[in-house]
Amino acid sequence: MLANADLHIHSPYSIAVSRFMQPEALIRGCVTKGIQVLGTGDALQPDWLAGWKSFFENDAGITIVPQAEIEDKSRVHHVVLAEDPAQFDQLRELLAGTAKSFVTSGRPHVYLSGEEIARRAHEVGALVGPAHAFTPWTAMYAYFDSISACYGSEPVDFVELGLSADSSYGAAIPDLYDLPFLTNSDAHSPTPDKLGREFTRFTLRANTPKGVLAAIRSGQVALNAGFFPEEGKYNRTACTRCYTQYSLEEAIGHHWRCPADGGQIKKGVFDRAKELAKGGTARPRPPYLHVLPLAQIIQTVEGASSPNTKKCRGIYDAFITAFGNEIAVITDVPLAEIRAIHPKVAEAVSALRENRVVLHPGGGGKYGTFSLV
């Protein structure tokens, strides 16, 4: 069976996360979005993990996978996935004394290397891989040039692309040839424009946490879906103060300082990926579908100030009522049926499916934008 999965979210125990990120709201959000498999987020936080206890089995049929993100001593972030919540209790014990607290922080800062964290995760039978690997802050490729430089002799099980990269960015990097790519939302809010904004479609033999991890181990990724990389706020090399974009050669020539205002120039994901590929040959990957949240599409075609205006919400609700969930509208529903509800949305969805989108890349911390042809 095919299942859409979002395996990286957070809880209110993490910084800048909505207080509405609660199991009930998340399960409802999955139904609306069209997500069948959800990571718990912050499973090393004992109270949050305990709060999921009565929701691992739920009437909506959403498969819940115990999941956490850990920051290591080099500030690199790692995603850990397990079959059973008890594995995170065991991991917390193995990590005891390496962090200030697992109670006060949903995403703990652990004073260990990536190799040491990965080894402990594997000791309890969990999977581990770099979170948003290409992001120029708190990511593996921000500080290291290879998997082994970050993880030593300990293998990783997957690579999370992150919101500023699609599969093409990693397909030519020899270091990643044999690793499955995951696309996840890293959501801090349960709203449909955040939850499931990037997702991985797996081919599952069993729609259970064990089945999901087995699909990752065997690379049973049917589809990756996510933003256009150009929408990411660190896609292009740019000044972090005025957002002026530079070529890699220009940035080096300016010694990574913006000549306009003296701000720091941050290397973008686009240039970093080319640098890491070192002329390597791109290997085939599962299809990557560029998507935008339906609420964002509606806001754009309506010229609204927010996707939460009464009119935009009414249009969104009409689509969900008609077709069941958002991902179905974006990916599968025939255009004629979408057009019957809202012709402009149908045109936008058609443009997305056919890649007829004009992109204005982001960089330096400013999100990119798009316009429809």
- Per-residue pLDDT, 162: 86
pTM greater than 0.85: yes
Q: Which helix (H) or strand (E) holds 109?
A: none
> pLDDT tens across 31-44, in order?
999 999 999 999 99
- Per-residue pLDDT, 373: 67
CA distances from 235 to 276, 364, 365 (A): 15, 8, 9
- Per-residue pLDDT, 320: 98
- Per-residue pLDDT, 122: 98
228-245: b (≥16 Cβ within 10 Å) or e: bbbbbbbbbbbbbeebbb
202-225: b (≥16 Cβ within 10 Å) or e: bebeebebebbbbbbeeebbebbb
Give the chain's residues under pLDDT 50.
none
- Per-residue pLDDT, 146: 97
- Per-residue pLDDT, 102: 96
- Per-residue pLDDT, 369: 86
Dihedral of CA 335/338/344/348: which sign? negative
- Per-residue pLDDT, 60: 97
Residue 11 near residue 106, CB atoms below 8 Å: yes
* CA dist., res. 305 & res. 253, Å (int): 40
